[in-house]
Structure 1
Amino acid sequence: MFWRFRVLFFYATVSILTIIFFMLFFVLSKIFDVTYHIKYKVATIYSHSFIWCAKIICGLKYHVSGLEKLPQEPCVVLANHQSFWDNVFMQLIIPKHSWIVKRELFNIPFFGWGLKMVDPIAVDRGDNISVKQILREGKKKLQDSLWLIVFPESTRLRPEQSTKFKPSAIRLAVTEKVPIVLMAHNAGVYWPKGFWINKPGTIQVKIIDVITKDQMEECDVRELTEHISQVINTEKQVLFEQSK
């Protein structure tokens, strides 16, 4: 019963936080000519506040390994997707970036409105045109010195599940000659897909490897996608087994 109260209190706190942040965000954007830098800064403060609330109220701590592997230049970051937590957490460790997201996220009250204002690449699920959109808009983001966060599974999965990776972001990295960062985590053990948070604990986040521009030369996108899929899926399985 006490755990249920903690989870509900967390959601109540985060709901208030979201309304305050994104109502302020919306009002400022309407009154002033707010730059992307300022919008991103507000979103980053919100992300830190969200993760802090999850830690203090629900005991969702985290540990990151491999941060020293991150390059200094813009990259495409590929990570598995298990939880709403990993959507928000990325802003704590990845340099200034944008995202590829499902357009339906814009429909979430307040949060979706704030998300829309930081201009991610929003795609329609199952839309074949989205690949061209990702290549076109992703190129612009990288040229603007933004990193790009992508969940190649394209949906949240349970920790023990795996699925075929979408190749569009990998094709973008190969075409634009930017490094690919491979990341895995086990957030779904503690906060799985859906509303309820299972239990407190320490989420393990691992920067597995970086595929450099030189390594991608003359690389077949399909073979590279299969390799990346195998590496991330293997590592996330290891993290899942360690959390049992």
Structure 2
Amino acid sequence: MSLVRSILFTLAFYLVTAVLLIGGLPALASRRGVLWLAQTWARVILRLLHAVVGLRVEFRGLEHRPAGAVLVAAKHQSALETLALVTVLDDFTYILKRELMWLPLFGWYLARSEMVAIDRSKGSRALALMNEEAAAAMAQGRRLIIFPEGTRRAPWAPPAYKYGVAHMYDRLGVPCLPVALNTGVFWGRRRLTYRPGTAVIAFLPPIPPGLPRDVFLAELQERVETASNALVREAGLPEPAGAAMPARGA
């Protein structure tokens, strides 16, 4: 039955996405219009996920969201948080691969919403360009969302935080809002089936600006990994034998 529900949800997901991509073309008239459409799309998908699969998303720590510009550094375990975060963060901007801008139709929306795109072909220059675009977004008071590990990591996988988030934190001079989660327990990477239950996305107390880069990165990793591991345990996924939390600053 879970496989049938998963297939039905997948079909509904692509159908709703196609309808909104085509029917929402007038939203391309403004960035605000595209953000509204994206939030509408995400809310519809989350309702479908709950209705069809029996999987709901619970947000915790919403009171920790600061007003104004903030760097949101989230654990990345599945596609679920990519959808869910936009429903509770206004004026959001994602950091993403430039290749996504080339997707037919979908890329138009990404470009119009002024997401910060990373052009990996530019090598070391890519980080500087990304920071410049991010600074422009911060000047407008946006919520800049980044996945510090760069790609999805399964629950209990060893953390792989990239130093780019520390460069960005240092360059922007704004608070960093860490986000822990256990979404990978329910919606895994490259997995056809989805598990019913309650996936938790938790906003942790912000890290104030001004810390040295190494101190910030160690603090961010420790906070996010400790809280995410606790949420994974709460969801009922036991820790593999021999798994251990990396030492602070590792």
Give TM-score, length-normalised by structure 1. Answer: 0.89
| C-alpha distance in structure 1 between counterparts of 2:125 and 2:158, whole Å | 25
Map of 1:101-120 to 2, 5 A cutoff?
A: 101-106=96-101, 110-120=105-115
1:157 pairs with 133, 137, 153, which one? 153
Deviations 1:53-106 (A, max 9, x none): 111111111211111111112100001101011111111112211000123334
1:95 aligns with 2:90: yes
> Which blocks of at least 5 consecutive residues in structure 2 are unaligned?
237-250
What residue is the counterpart of 2:213 in the other structure? Answer: 221
Q: CA 1:52–1:116 in structure 2 vs 1: closer, same or farther (change >3 Å)?
A: farther
What residue is the counterpart of 1:6 in the other structure? Answer: 5
| C-alpha distance in structure 1 between counterparts of 2:186 and 2:105, whole Å | 25
4+ residue runs of structure 1 moved beyond 6 angstroms? Answer: none
What residue is the counterpart of 2:14 in the other structure? Answer: 15
SS state at 1:210 partner: coil
| C-alpha distance in structure 1 between counterparts of 2:193 and 2:213, whole Å | 37
> Which blocks of at least 5 consecutive residues in structure 1 are unaligned?
none
> Does the 8 Å contact 1:18/1:110 carry over to 2?
no
Q: CA 1:199–1:28 in structure 2 vs 1: closer, same or farther (change >3 Å)?
A: closer
Give the superposition deviation at 1:136: 0.5
> Does the 8 Å contact 1:135/1:169 carry over to 2?
no
> Does the 8 Å contact 2:2/2:194 carry over to 1?
no
What residue is the counterpart of 1:232 in the other structure? Answer: 224
The alignment covers a number of residue pairs equal to 235
| C-alpha distance in structure 1 between counterparts of 2:61 and 2:27, whole Å | 37
SS state at 1:171 partner: helix
What residue is the counterpart of 2:185 in the other structure? Answer: 189
Aligned-residue RMSD, C-alpha: 1.9
AA matched with 1:176: L
Give TM-score, length-normalised by structure 2. Answer: 0.87
SS state at 2:24 partner: helix
| C-alpha distance in structure 2 between counterparts of 1:195 and 1:107, whole Å | 25
SS state at 2:216 partner: helix
